[in-house]
């Protein structure tokens, strides 16, 4: 059994810590926030992620998972230390590595014996060298360590499944000893023949950025195709289906909508682009994806504005869905933010509903009205915009929706409503890349 320390109890740290303890390791998740650790020790999980609550409770009960704010003491009793702190976006688009640097210094000042230092946080290529240099500068001369890059590939809303049953585990290690330790850490996966890819540190760091950027490109590409479909009379759902049935392409991430959001794609594509520029190159496809994504958010507002004959003044718009995707409460870079901003700037009013993200969005927009159901949000609204494809919106009673709206105007940015039903009920509506008279 390996004694593992996870530094950082955010999204990546909590899921990774719970997952690694489920693999049989002895895991302690640490954080500088004593309040956060107290909450976790009291059984409160600060993020919404299906299955995480049960996973944490099971491993806390078994004694394999603990939470502590005594970072120095926990580090001293570790075999493997995972860095899982945030790397937010700097104003120039680069990744902010202040927390990474601080943690590296703290680790180096407290390790007593050989350890493997492993980064889970998403960091630019070359960050491993930076961390190694910080540790070497501050460590006692008679203590050895190895460094490993082990990027995460967790999808919010299915992160527990992704961690316990991953497509692959990437381990960037130049030391055979460190790689052997990491194979033990992921022992159940190794035994079950899950793909474990052994690379050098730089390659592992690159895989993470390259994968996220590719998925962002795929989303922006299908959004551009959807926009063209609207001009030529094609249906993007069938286009995407026809593309996705090609094994070389696959159907994943071929879902048109209001643009990507979340904690990863917006930040990572910008950092990846900047990394390229720093090395005298340009990632023109990634740059185009970033540009398309920003334009797509504005295009969604323009669709809404057109439905109201370009006059939103004093119009009450119901926004359904605030999280950037379903099954998460994460609103970071959510397309809903841009939609709400533009409605308010054009003198419209907003009533909003999300199954779990109302409170988080209220910190950004404290002066709009939040409701506890989609029915309440839509009551006497002049129109409704679906921004997140929560299942309860897929099954909305359209007869009831028309009855409670002041005007039967709908913008479905996620293409989840039946066009035939909307037509039959006499709705005025728009969507993304679909034929209106289906």
Return the active site residues: 264
Alpha-carbon span 147 to 106, nearest angstrom: 15
Give yes or no for a contact between 290 and 270, defined as CB atoms under 8 angstroms apart.
yes
Pairing between β-strand 145-149 and β-strand 316-320 as defined by DSSP bridges:
unpaired
Alpha-carbon span 217 to 252, nearest angstrom: 12
Closest CA to 117 of 105, 190, 206, 126: 105
Counted residue by residue, the chain has a size of 438
Give yes or no for a contact between 7 and 152, defined as CB atoms under 8 angstroms apart.
no
Alpha-carbon span 86 to 13, nearest angstrom: 10
Phi, psi dihedral angles at 236 (to 5 degrees):
-65, -25
CA–CA distance from 171 to each of 44, 130, 158, 162, 213 (Å)? 32, 18, 22, 16, 20
- Burial string for 111-124 (b: 16+ CB within 10 Å, else e) reads beeebbbbbbbbbb
CA–CA distance from 372 to each of 121, 325, 423 (Å)? 35, 18, 28
Q: Edge to edge, what strands does the sheet with 169-173 contain?
A: 65-68, 26-30, 3-7, 80-83, 115-119, 145-149, 169-173, 196-199
Closest CA to 18 of 7, 29, 8, 10: 29
Alpha-carbon span 202 to 125, nearest angstrom: 6
Percent helix, strand, coil in the chain, to 5, is 45, 15, 40
Strand, coil or helix: 36 = helix
């Amino acid at each position: 059994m390996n004694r593992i320390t996870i530094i950082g109890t955010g999204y990546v740290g909590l899921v990774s810590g719970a997952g690694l303890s489920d693999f049989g390791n002895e895991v302690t998740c640490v954080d500088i926030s004593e309040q956060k650790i107290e909450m976790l020790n009291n059984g409160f999980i600060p993020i919404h992620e299906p299955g995480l609550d049960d996973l944490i409770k099971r491993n806390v009960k078994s004694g394999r998972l603990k939470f502590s704010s005594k970072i120095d003491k926990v580090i001293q009793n570790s075999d493997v230390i995972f860095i899982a702190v945030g790397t937010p976006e700097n104003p120039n688009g680069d990744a902010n590595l202040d927390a990474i640097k601080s943690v590296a210094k703290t680790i180096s000042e407290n390790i007593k014996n050989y350890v493997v230092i492993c980064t889970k946080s998403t960091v630019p290529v070359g960050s491993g060298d930076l961390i190694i240099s910080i540790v070497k500068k501050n460590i006692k001369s008679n203590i050895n360590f190895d460094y490993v890059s082990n990027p995460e590939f967790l999808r919010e809303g299915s992160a527990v499944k992704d961690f316990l049953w991953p497509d692959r585990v990437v381990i960037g290690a130049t030391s055979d000893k460190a790689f052997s330790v990491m194979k033990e850490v992921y022992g159940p996966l190794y035994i079950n023949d899950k793909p474990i890819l052994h690379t050098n540190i730089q390659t592992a760091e690159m895989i993470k950025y390259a994968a996220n950027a590719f998925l962002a490109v795929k989303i922006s590409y299908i959004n551009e195709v959807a926009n063209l479909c609207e001009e030529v009379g094609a249906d993007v759902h069938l286009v995407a289906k026809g593309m996705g049935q090609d094994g070389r392409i696959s159907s994943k991430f071929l879902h048109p909508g209001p643009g990507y959001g979340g904690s990863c794609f917006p930040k990572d594509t910008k950092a990846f682009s900047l990394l390229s520029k720093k090395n005298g190159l340009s990632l023109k496809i990634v740059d185009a994806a970033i540009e398309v994504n920003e334009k797509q958010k504005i295009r969604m507002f323009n669709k809404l504005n057109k439905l109201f004959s370009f006059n939103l003044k004093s119009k009450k718009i119901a926004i359904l869905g605030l999280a950037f995707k379903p099954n998460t409460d994460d609103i970071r870079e959510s397309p809903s933010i841009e939609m709400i901003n533009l409605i308010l700037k054009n003198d419209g009013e907003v009533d909003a509903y999300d199954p779990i993200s109302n409170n988080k969005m209220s910190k950004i927009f404290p002066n709009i009205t939040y409701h506890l159901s989609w029915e309440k949000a839509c009551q006497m609204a002049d129109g409704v915009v679906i921004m997140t494809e929560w299942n309860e919106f897929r099954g909305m009673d359209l007869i009831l929706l028309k009855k409670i709206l002041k005007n039967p105007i709908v913008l479905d940015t996620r293409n989840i409503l039946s066009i035939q039903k909307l037509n039959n009920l006499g709705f005025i509506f728009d969507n993304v890349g679909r034929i209106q008279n289906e």
